[in-house]
Amino acid sequence: MKKFILSAAGAILIGLIIVTVIYHQNVNEVTYPQLGQLNKGQDNQNSQNNLEQPRSEQLQPINRNDTITYTLQNNELNITFNKGKDWIKVPVEKDLLFEGEYNGSEQELIENSYVLTEERAAFLYSKGPSWDQKGILVTYSLDQGKTWVTTVVTKPFPAMRFRKIDFLNDQFGYIILSGDRTMSQEYSIVYLTHDGGKTWKATKQPPTTRLIASGGFVDETTGFLSYGTINPEEPNVYVTQDGGETWAHAVFHIPKKYDQIFVQAEVPVKEKSHLAVVVNQGPNGDYAGGEVKGKFISEDNGKTWEFSKEVQPNETAYQ
Amino acid sequence: MKQHISKLTKIIGWILFLLAIAAFCVQLGFLYVDAKFQATYIDNRLFYIINIFCIFSLVLAVLVLLRLTKRFKIVLTSIVVVFIVVQAVMLIGSNQEIKNITSVSPDWKHVLSIKENTETGNAVYYRSYYGILARPKEKLPYETSGEFKVEWLAKDVAAVTYKTADNTIQQYVGTYGDRGSGRSYYYVGAEIHGKWQGNNIEVISDTKGITVTENGESELFDWDSIHQFGTLAVVLKKNDEAVWTISLNENFEVHSAASEKTVGTISLYKATMGDSQPIILRYKGSN
C-alpha cells in the first residue's frame, strides 16, 4: 500500500512538472480567434452585425502553411512574411483588386494577379473614375512592405478579364492582359518591364482575338500566349522570340491518337536544352478521366512542338 | 476514540489523495483540449492554482496516510515548498506578460475574460465554455494600455471600459443573452425607439440617432457612430471615443411587432476610467 501511494505521488509530481513545462511554452501567447470558429450558445455577435458595422477581426493567413501569404479580411489586403505574426497593410483598396470581368467570391486574390515573395510583393489592379478612364496599375514593394511604389502600366484600358503578372528576375517582368470581351472575342496584350516594374512597355498585339487561356515568358525574349477557353479543338499558341516585337503561330504535331484530346496548352518551361509544355484537355476533356495531359517538347525555342508522353494527374510533368 | 480518529483521518487522507489525482487528470485533460480545440483556461492563473492545489492535497494525503520517518517528511515537505514557490513565481510572471481580466457575472453564470499581451497591447476577448474553459472570440479593436474596468450592467451584459495606447477611452461590451426569442437578430437602437428618463438624464432614440441630455446639455449621436454589441447593448461614440453604453435590462422585452407596448428599463453607463454607476432609465413614451 505504502509503495502504491508513494509511487503514485511521485508520478503525479513528475507529471505536474512536465505539464507545467509544456504549458509554460505556450502560455505567453494570446491566441487569436480563428476564422469560422463556431460560437455556441447565446451569442449573437455574428455576421449579421457586420452588415451595419464591420468590426475589425483578427487577421488569419489565407493559407496557414505558407510563411509568406495574405488575407482579405476586414475588407482590406494585408500581407505577412512570417506566417501571420506581423501584418502589413497593402495600400490598395480591396475592391480595385477585383475590378473588371470577375465573378468570384472575393475571398481570395485572383490567381496570377499578384506576386508575393520574399523579394517582391506586387499587385495588379485597375483604377479610374469612370469605365472609359480606367488604367491598369501595379503597386509593389521591394522591402517587404516598408515602402510602396505605384506605377501605371497603361491607360485607358477596357474592362480587364485575363490578368497575369510575373517576374523572372529582379529586373525583367511581364504582364499579360485581356479585355473588352464581346461574346468569345477579346483584345489581349503583353507589357514588359526591364527595370523591376518601374516602367512598362507594350509589346505588339498578337494577331488573334480569341479568348486567352494562359501565357508566360521563359526568358527575356521568348514568350507564349495560349488561346482557346471555351471549346478548344487544338492548342492555339503564339510565340515570340524577340521580346514581343513579332508573334508567330506555334505548330503542334499531335499524334492522331490525341487529336482533339490535348487541346489547351499551358505555359512552357525550360528543360535542359529544350522547352517543354503540357497540353491539357480543356474544360470538357474526358480522355482517361479528363485529367491526363500530353507533354510536348520543342527543340527550336517554341516554334514547333513534338509529342513526348502522357502525364498522369499525380506525376510531375517537368524535370 | 483514538481508533475513531485514525479512521476519520484515513478517510480524509484518501479523499485528499483522490482530489489530487482528479486535479492532475483535469490538467491532463486541459492540455489535450488546449491542443485539440485551442481552448484555454478562462484565466491563465487557474493552471498554477490547480497545480498548487493538486500538490498540496497530495502531500497532505501522503502525510496522513503513511507513517514516514522524520527525515523523509522533511525532504518531502521541502520538495513541495520548492514546487509551490516555483508555481507561484510562474503565476505572477505569466500574469505580467499576459494580463488576465476576469469577472464573474452577478448570478455566477457567465465569466467575462479578456487577456491582454502587455508588451504589444493586443487584447483578446474570450468566451467561456463549461465555466473554466474559454476560447478566443475577437480582438479588441484598439491597442490597449493595460487599464481596464469591468461593470456588469445586467446579469448578462458586461461593459469593459479601457484606455487605449493613444489615450482614448473605449468601451467593449460582452453579451451573454438576449431579450427576444433568442432566435433572431434585432437592433437595440430601434428597440429603444422613444423617450427614456432617469436621474437628470434623458435619452431619445429616433430616426436621426440617439440623443443624450445630461444636466440640460444635449448631444446627438448619429447612427454611424453607434456600435451594437450582441443584441443587448450599444456604445455611443464621438470622435472615435466611447462616450456612453446603453444596455437593455433583464426586464426589457423585445417584441417582433413594433406596435406592441415598450416594456422594461434600460441602463445608461458613462465611459470613464473614474467612478461611474449605471443609471436606470424608464420609458416615457414615443416622441
Considering only CB atoms, A34 lies closest to which of B38, B54, B55, namely: B38
- A129 and A198 share one domain: yes
Distance from CA of A287 to the nearest CA of B (A): 43
Whether residue B83 lies within 8 A of chain A, CB to CB, comes out as yes
- Asked if residue A82 is part of any domain, the answer here is no
Over residues A295-313, the mean pLDDT reads 92
Same structural domain for residues A183 and A266? no
Proportion of chain A above pLDDT 70, given as a percent: 90
Q: What is the pLDDT of residues A179-238, one digit of tens each?
A: 888 888 898 999 999 999 999 999 999 989 899 999 999 999 999 999 988 888 899 999
Is the pLDDT at A51 greater than 50? The verdict is no
Considering only alpha carbons, which residue of chain A is nearest residue B51?
A: A16
Closest CA of chain B from A115, distance in Å: 29
Q: What pLDDT is attached to residue A104?
A: 80
Cell, residue B235: 456604445
Could you tell me if residue A254 is inside a domain? yes
Chain A interface test: which of B66, B100, B184 (most A C-beta within 10 Å): B66
Taking 50 as the threshold, does the pLDDT of residue A50 lie above it? no
User: How far is CA A234 from each of CA A163, A200, A215, A237, rounded to the nearest angstrom?
Assistant: 23, 32, 16, 9
Q: Kindly determine whether residue A13 and residue B55, on different chains, have CB atoms separated by under 8 Å.
A: yes
Residue B127 in contact with partner chain A when CB distance is under 8 A: yes
Q: How confident is the model at residue A48 (pLDDT cuts 50, 70, 90)?
A: very low
* B118/A20 Cα distance (integer angstroms): 22
d(CA B162, CA B144): 7
Q: For chain A, what percent of residues have pLDDT higher than 90? A: 46
User: What is the extent of the structural domain holding A161?
Assistant: 93-202
Cβ contacts below 8 Å, chain A against chain B, sum to 125
Average pLDDT over residues B175-200: 85
Pick from B61, B135, B187: CB nearest A37: B135
**Is A1 domain-assigned?**
no
- Note if the bond before A156 is cis, omega within 30 degrees: yes
* CA B269/CA B10 separation, integer angstroms: 55
Confidence (pLDDT) at B138:
86
Task: Give A12's contacts in chain B (Cβ within 8 Å).
Answer: 20-21, 24, 54-55, 58
Q: Residues 20 to 49 of B: which have CB under 8 A from any A CB?
A: 20-21, 24, 27-28, 31, 34, 38, 40, 44, 47
B54, A49: Cβ pair inside 8 Å?
no
State how far residue A57 is from chain B, nearest Cα, in angstroms: 6
Mean pLDDT for all residues in chain B: 88
Q: A266 lies in a domain? A: yes
CB contact under 8 A, A33 and B40: no
Phi, psi of B32 (to 5 degrees): -65, -50
Residues of B in contact with A17 (CB under 8 A): 83
Task: Give how far A120 is from chain B: nearest CA, Å.
Answer: 27
Chain B residue with minimal CA distance to A53? B227
Instruction: Scan residues 247-266 of B and list those with Cβ closer than 8 Å to A.
Output: none
Task: Give the C-alpha distances (Å, rounded to integers) separating A200 from A122, A158, A225, B99.
Answer: 14, 17, 18, 52
What number is the average pLDDT over the span A98-110? 86
What mean pLDDT do residues A300-315 have? 90
| Res A199: pLDDT | 92
Nearest to A19 among B21, B27, B229 (CB): B27
How high is the mean pLDDT of chain A? Answer: 85
Does A42 have pLDDT greater than 70?
A: no
Q: Is A246 left (phi over 0), alpha (psi -120 to 50) or beta?
A: beta
Which residues in chain B have Cβ-Cβ distances shorter than 8 Å to A49? 185, 228
Interchain contact A25–B (C-beta under 8 A): no
* Stretch among A112-126, B224-238, B245-259 having the lowest mean pLDDT: B245-259
- The mean per-residue pLDDT over the stretch B185-200 comes to 87
Tell me the chain B residues in contact with residue A29 when contact means C-beta distances shorter than 8 Å.
Answer: 98, 117
* pLDDT in the model for residue B70: 87
Distance of CA A148 to the CA centre of its chain: 20
pLDDT tens, residue by residue, B254-284: 876 666 778 899 999 999 998 889 999 999 8
The answer as to whether A191 is a domain residue is yes
Number of folded domains in chain A? 2
Measure in Å the smallest separation between the Cα of B97 and chain A Cα atoms.
Answer: 6
Name the residue in chain B with its Cα closest to that of A56: B141
Q: How far apart are CA A310 and CA B275, in angstroms?
A: 77
Lowest mean per-residue pLDDT among A38-47, A66-75, A161-170, A260-269:
A38-47
List chain B residues with CB under 8 Å of A60.
Answer: none
Q: Does the pLDDT value for residue A136 go beyond 90?
A: yes
Residues of B in contact with A52 (CB under 8 A): 187, 228
Neighboring chain B residues of A42 at a CB cutoff of 8 Å:
156, 176-178, 182
C-alpha cell at B110: 457567465
Q: Chain A contact for B97, CB < 8 A?
A: yes
Most distant CA pair in chain A, distance: 93
Q: Which one is predicted more confidently, A53 or B157?
A: B157
Q: What is the mean pLDDT of residues A13-38?
A: 71
Same domain, A143 and A196: yes
Q: Assess whether pLDDT exceeds 90 at residue B9.
A: no
Per-residue pLDDT of B140-169, as tens digits, reads 888 888 889 999 999 999 999 999 988 899
Q: How far is A53 from chain B (nearest CA, A)?
A: 7
Residues 53-112 of A with CB under 8 A from B: 53, 55-58
Kindly state whether A30 is in contact with chain B, defined as any CB-CB distance less than 8 angstroms: yes
State the average pLDDT over residues B120-135: 86
Q: Please write the tens of the pLDDT for every residue from A115-126.
A: 999 889 999 999
What is the pLDDT at residue A100?
Answer: 86
pLDDT in tens, B40-92: 899 989 999 999 999 999 998 988 888 888 888 898 889 889 999 999 999 99
| Contact criterion met (CB < 8 Å) for B17 and A12 | no
CA dist B174 → A144, B14, B113 (Å): 37, 42, 9
Candidates A2, A3, A23: best to mutate against B (most CBs of B within 10 A) is: A23
Q: Does residue A47 register a pLDDT over 80? A: no
State the smallest CA–CA distance between residue B137 and chain A in angstroms.
5
Does A187 share its domain with A264? no
The predicted structure's pLDDT at residue A52: 33
Answer yes or no: is A178 within a domain: yes
Q: Report how far apart, in Å, the C-alpha atoms of A46 and of each of A50, A76, A105, B42, B190 are.
A: 7, 19, 19, 21, 18
Contacts of B55 in chain A (CB under 8 A): 12-13, 16
